[in-house]
Amino acid sequence: MIRCQDFVHWLAALGVDFFAGVPDSLLKPLCFYLADHGGDNHVVAANEGGAVALACGYHLATGKLPLVYLQNSGQGNTVNSLLSLADPEVYSIPLLMLIGWRGEPGTKDEPQHVKQGKVTLALLEAMDVAYRILETGPEAARRSLTELVTIATAEQRPVALMIRKDTFEPYKATGGQAAPEFEMTRECAIGAVIEALDENDAVISTTGKISRELYEHRDRAGLGHQRDFLTVGSMGHASQIAMGIALAQPDRQVICLDGDGAMLMHMGAAAIVGAAKLANFKHVILNNGVHDSVGGMATAGLRVSFTEIVKGCGYTEGWRVERRFDMSKKLAQLRSARGPAMLEIMVRQGARSGLGRPQTSPIENKTAFKKFLSQ
């Protein structure tokens, strides 16, 4: 395995000193090392396409080679900015991407990663992005890195370094601010939301631990899973899935369970929801200020007001709650409000040890959910 500090020193020797990206579990050690040591030259972006644009801006201002990191599930977000901005046939901007290779063929992974893993290299080839797979031996790794940097700078084009599981040695973060000690766990908050709903309400949950905790809550309560659409991928798009359902079934309450990182990723969706004036659309943000599902890197979630943002986008109401004692009243207000309306629930970072995963496949989830909506 490669020590993060060695890798960053290699990058510095090659003139790379700017880092932007969206955290990934396979890149977790490096992400935390950059959080501790990157300073103002390290930005956790809203989404991967934005990270590419940030990197392009840095290059335009400095002439230096920037680095963009991401999970391969975020490749889709990079396509526009790579092909219409950085590509050699457009602005010809060099940048180095580090891509965590989830779902690599021959490895076991979740359904949404298996498909992405199969097509990751083909997507890079289709975009004419040169790539190497980073070896774990220091000499071979440094050689691959140097080769790619040479290509990027000589040809003024994006390149990519593929990162497999356990490429980087573990790194324990030392910096950053202490996590706020909110009263509720996310799992507790999800339970309170579900208990406040009617049996005809539809729930669309964002990818990651929110969907996993929702599934386990329903399981423990013996409630069945047919009322929930568990979005296992497509980070940032749960609210638009919910909006589509709310448009088609105006007599049904539709609740979107979202996270702060997911909300930030495609926050423009709030303006579309607000403009549609959907009375049956209810948005719940579970905000802990971190990308919990990929290791706990900080988001901007604790430094913005989601409730004020969505009200500016046309939501009729927006409330923020921190205490379990206040949940019943706020949830009743949310459900009775003429939407679109939002409840932002502040929750602790982290998840319960031993948290499971849905035992139904995405197809099984879709089938049961469609049957529920047809009733």
Query: What tens digit of pLDDT does each residue of 144-194 get?
Result: 999 999 999 999 999 999 999 999 999 988 865 567 789 999 999 999 999
Mean pLDDT of 225-250: 95
Residue-wise pLDDT tens digits, 31-87: 999 999 999 999 999 999 999 999 999 999 999 999 999 999 999 999 999 999 999
Q: What is the pLDDT of residue 177?
A: 56
Per-residue model confidence (pLDDT) at position 295? 76
pLDDT tens, position by position, 13-24: 999 999 999 999
More confidently predicted of 43 and 300: 43
Distance CA 288, CA 306 (A): 13
Contact 199, 205 (CB under 8 A): no
pTM over 0.75, yes/no:
yes
The verdict on 192 and 94 lying in the same domain is: no
Q: Which residue has the higher pLDDT, 103 or 175?
A: 103
At 347, the amino acid letter reads V
Mean pLDDT, the chain, as a whole number?
94
Give pLDDT, residue 146: 97
Using an 8 Å Cβ cutoff, are 21 and 68 in contact? yes
Q: Determine the average pLDDT of the residues in 88-103.
A: 97
Q: Does 249 share its domain with 333? A: yes
**Look-up: residue for tokens 């459900």?**
335
Distances in Å between the Cα of 113 and the Cα atoms of 27, 39, 43, 102, 228 are 15, 31, 25, 6, 21
* Last residue in a domain, options 128, 163, 198: 163
Both 239 and 343 in a single domain?
Answer: yes
The pLDDT of 316-336, averaged and rounded, is 95
Of 112, 129, 163, the last residue of a domain is 163
Q: Is the peptide bond before 158 cis (omega within 30 degrees of 0)?
A: no
Q: Judge if 152 and 16 occupy the same domain.
A: yes
pLDDT of residue 178: 64
Q: Tokens 């335009």 map to which residue?
A: 60
Q: Give residue 283's pLDDT.
A: 98
Same domain, 138 and 201: no
* Domain-located, residue 25: yes
Residue 180 lies in a domain: no
Answer whether residue 177 is part of any domain: no
- Same-domain status, 57 and 201: no
Q: If you search the block for the tokens 């963009």, which residue do you land on?
A: 68
User: Are residues 155 and 124 part of one domain?
Assistant: yes
Output the CA–CA distances (angstroms, integers) from residue 298 to 43, 66, 155, 288, in the order listed: 10, 21, 34, 9
Q: What's the pLDDT band for 274 if we cut at 50, 70, 90?
A: very high
Which value, to the nearest 10 degrees, does the dihedral of the CA atoms of residues 311, 248, 203, 278 take? 20
- Whats the size of the chain, residue-wise? 375
Residue 141 predicted with pLDDT over 90: yes
Query: Does residue 208 surpass a pLDDT of 60?
Result: yes
Q: Is residue 169 part of a domain?
A: no
User: Which of 107, 130, 163 is the C-terminal boundary of a domain?
Assistant: 163
pLDDT, position 298: 85
Calculate what percentage of the chain has a pLDDT beyond 90: 85
Q: Is residue 288 part of a domain?
A: yes
**Residues sharing a CB contact under 8 Å with residue 271, sequence separation 6 or more, in sequence order:** 313, 314
What CATH code is carried by the domain that includes residue 77?
3.40.50.970
Structural Rg of the chain based on CA atoms: 21
101 domain-assigned: yes
What is the pLDDT averaged over residues 318-324?
95
- For residue 226, tell me if it sits in a domain: yes
149 and 11 together in one domain: yes
Per-residue confidence (pLDDT) for residue 176, from 0 to 100: 58
The per-residue pLDDT for 172 is 87
Residue 60 domain boundaries: 4-163
Domain tally, the chain: 2
Q: Is residue 168 in a domain?
A: no
The confidence score (pLDDT) of residue 173 equals 84
